[in-house]
Amino acid sequence: MSHAWSQNLLYLALLLSLAYPLGTHMAKVLEDGRTLLHPILRPLERGIYRLMGIHEDDEMGWKAYAWSITLIKLLGLAAVFLLMKTQAALPLNPERQANVASGLSFNTDVSFITNTNWQAYGGEATLSYLTQMLGLTVQNFISAATGIAVLAALVRGITRRSAAGLGNAWVDLVRSTLYILLPLSFALALFLVSQGVIQNLSAYLHTAGGQVLAMGPAASQVAIKMLGTNGGGFFGANAAHPFENSSPLSNFVQMLSILLIPAALCVTFGHMVKDRRQGWALLAAMTVMFVGALAVCTQAEVKGNPALDGLGMTQVASLDQPGGNMEGKELRFGPGGSALWATATTAASNGSVNAMHDSFTPLGGLVPLWLMQLGEVVFGGVGSGLYGMLMFALVAVFVGGLMVGRTPEYLGKKVEAFEMKMASIAILLPCAAVLIGTAISVLVPAAVASVSNPGPHGFSQILYAWSSASNNNGSAFAGLNTNTPFYNNGLAVAMLLGRFGVIWPVLALAGSLVKKKHTPEGLGTLPTHTPLFVGVLIGVVLLVGALTFIPALALGPIAEHLTLRSIR
């Protein structure tokens, strides 16, 4: 077995075994339990509440919860925008970065508050250290905490009976940050520094040979960028940059941290609904889809471009070269480390890249594209992946429930018209944004001009950009110049729709579920922890994804792949 495949196996084994302890810990945090961190952090937590005037025990209905989340996002939007527009006059700007142009500011700003982290900006060429630290890094934490909070609210909607409150948004945000994101980020940052990822506030280095080496507080931002499924790079080259991702080991650990919290949240879910099998079932569904995608992507990249075989070039791995499709990839990661990263970063809504997805083989590029189009539910973003998956689970339960002749119910809560409406909206909106955005782009000459490749690949570039923004991923099929007014504004709208167009229906749904009575499970109840249900859930996710996007994919990567195959 080659290096790529054994790395994949090790990756999965470690991911799943780390998910359990972390998931249990997170359940305690969200359920008011005591954790090992409490002796140190609890006083701090109390201090924050006192300072902010938050009453821990105040319950919020779904609307209050949703408005709180929206409010903190709007505040973030204003703060980051202000920072970018005034950074030239602010401290911690050794390179004297100018104020950021409005269109780019807006786009970057939106992308960070929505956990998309679309890189229209180039980190080291645009932003001051202060903007990076106070603007982007802070939003990385808040947007990840938002995901966890919304998920917690949804789970409470499921577990609480005939109630109204979904918890307190502020408390959920503070606790997620304090007990989950901060400690993990701290540990990861230290580890990354040990691997050579930089962390300083110095001016850029100018070497004797005339090279400029960008500097900055990279490790602290990279840690939460990976753990929070944010993905916005400190440097423009993102994780392909040696100062951001220095070694194969740092690469591996960063990949692990992409899916760590999303996978562990499944375990958390099982704990919170008092039936661990439910969490395992969701984790199993995600894992199966992930393994399938990973296998296709790895195979495509390790095998390389079939058209090159005829030209007398070798793409076989040897001591001299990693083999496979090496275009646009870092030597220290190879096709295996790049394919795994690409799959993980798009399965989760991370969007960091350590290779150019644009240069992947058509099939290798199809995998990340499709994973995003599935709605970022194969692990998905921190919190958002699981609540997105739960929307699909409700659809699966609905169809499955009808098939066994009973009003569908999930974990004891009846799934009725209102739930179907909200779940449909949450699934539909990002899909609509992708399809409509792409359609407008191929019609508007200014947008078409951004495309760098002819033929189906050019179409894939546009489709990828909209899929990434609408599903809050943030990775790009490089090659499409998106720092234009059209894309800056259009993609920002897609990002907002992809975030709030899902959060609001999810919370509305939680608000409806929380009011319902609990129906005890019986023989006639559709079991939602069995392999059969896992199969149905996978079927629903894949079918919705396939049926919505296959026509578009046929004109992009599929046409490209089949053409490439026919050339040989």
Partner 1 sequence: MTSHSRQDRPLFEPAIARRAVLDAFRKLSPLHQLRNPVMFTVWICSAFATGLWIQALTGRGEGRPGFILAISLWLWFTLLFANFAEAMAEGRGKAQADSLRRSKRDVKARRLLGSDRTGPHEVVDAPALRVNDLVLVEAGETIPGDGEAIEGVASVNESAITGESAPVIRESGGDRSAVTGGTLVLSDWLVICISSNPGESFLDRMIAMVEGAKRQKTPNEIALDILLAGLTLIFLLATATLLPYSVFSTKAAGQGHPVTLTALVSLLVCLIPTTIGGLLSAIGIAGMDRMIQANVIATSGRAVEAAGDVDVLLLDKTGTITLGNRQAVAFLPADGVGLKRLADAAQLSSLADETPEGRSIVVLAKEQHGLRERDLHALDAHFVPFTAQTRMSGVNLGTRQIRKGAASAIEAYVQSHGGTFPDDLRRTVDQISMAGGTPLVVAEGPHALGVIQLKDIVKGGIKDRFAELRDMGIKTVMITGDNPLTAAAIAAEAGVDDFLAQATPEAKLKLIREYQAGGRLVAMTGDGTNDAPALAQADVAVAMNSGTQAAKEAGNMVDLDSNPTKLIEIVEIGKQMLMTRGSLATFSIANDVAKYFAILPAAFVATYPALGALNVMRLHSPESAILSAVIFNALIIVALIPLALRGVTYRPVGAAQLLQRNLLLYGAGGLVVPFIGIKAIDWLLVALHLTA
Residues near partner 1 (CB under 8 A) are: 395, 398-408, 412, 415-417, 419-421, 424-425, 427-428, 431-432, 435-436, 438-440, 442-443, 448, 454-456, 458-459, 517-520, 522-527, 530, 532-533, 536, 539, 543-544, 546-552, 554-555, 558-559, 562-563, 565-566
Q: How far is the CB of 564 from partner 1 (least distance, A)?
A: 8
One-letter amino acid at 173 equals L
Least distance to partner 1, CB of residue 401, Å: 7
Chain-centre distance for alpha carbon 220: 19
Residues 6+ apart with CB under 8 A from 485: 103, 446
Residue with smaller CB distance to partner 1, 139 or 373: 373
Nearer to partner 1, 169 or 397 (CB): 397
The nearer residue to partner 1, 40 or 543, going by C-beta atoms, is 543
For residue 247, count other CB atoms closer than 10 A to its CB: 16
Task: Give the nearer residue to partner 1 in terms of CB position, either 318 or 566.
Answer: 566
The helix (run of H) or strand (run of E) holding residue 414 is strand 413-414
Q: Which is nearer to partner 1, 382 or 558 (CB)?
A: 558
79-94: burial string, b at 16+ Cβ within 10 Å, e else: bbbebbeebeebeebe
Q: Which of 201, 254, 236, 250 is nearest to 121 (CA)?
A: 236
DSSP tag of 409? E
The nearest distance, CB 224 to partner 1, in angstroms, is 35
Shortest Å, Cβ 271 to partner 1 = 22
| Cβ closest to partner 1, residue 408 vs residue 490 | 408
- Cα dihedral 135/140/144/145 (nearest 10): -40
| Secondary structure (H, E, C), 32-97 | CCCCCCHHHHHHHHHHHHHHHCCCCCCCCCHHHHHHHHHHHHHHHHHHHHHHHHHHHHCCCCCCCC
If the CB atoms of residues 348 and 494 are measured against partner 1, the closer one turns out to be: 494
Strand partners, 213: 205
Closest approach, Cβ 99 to partner 1, in A, equals 36
H-only helix segments in 328-484: 334-347, 362-373, 384-403, 417-443, 445-448, 455-470
Q: How far is the CB of 499 from partner 1 (least distance, A)?
A: 20
Shortest distance, CB of residue 424 to partner 1, whole angstroms? 3
Q: What angle, rounded to 10 degrees, do the helices at 455-470 and 559-567 form?
A: 150
Handedness of CA 327, 333, 336, 341 (dihedral sign): negative
Comparison of 64 and 440: residue with beta carbon closer to partner 1: 440
Nearest approach in angstroms of CB 516 to partner 1 is: 9
Closer of 79 and 436 to partner 1 (Cβ): 436
Least distance (Å) from partner 1 to the CB of residue 295?
21
**Nearest-angstrom CA–CA distance, 384 and 389:** 8
Six token digits for residue 324? 């496979």
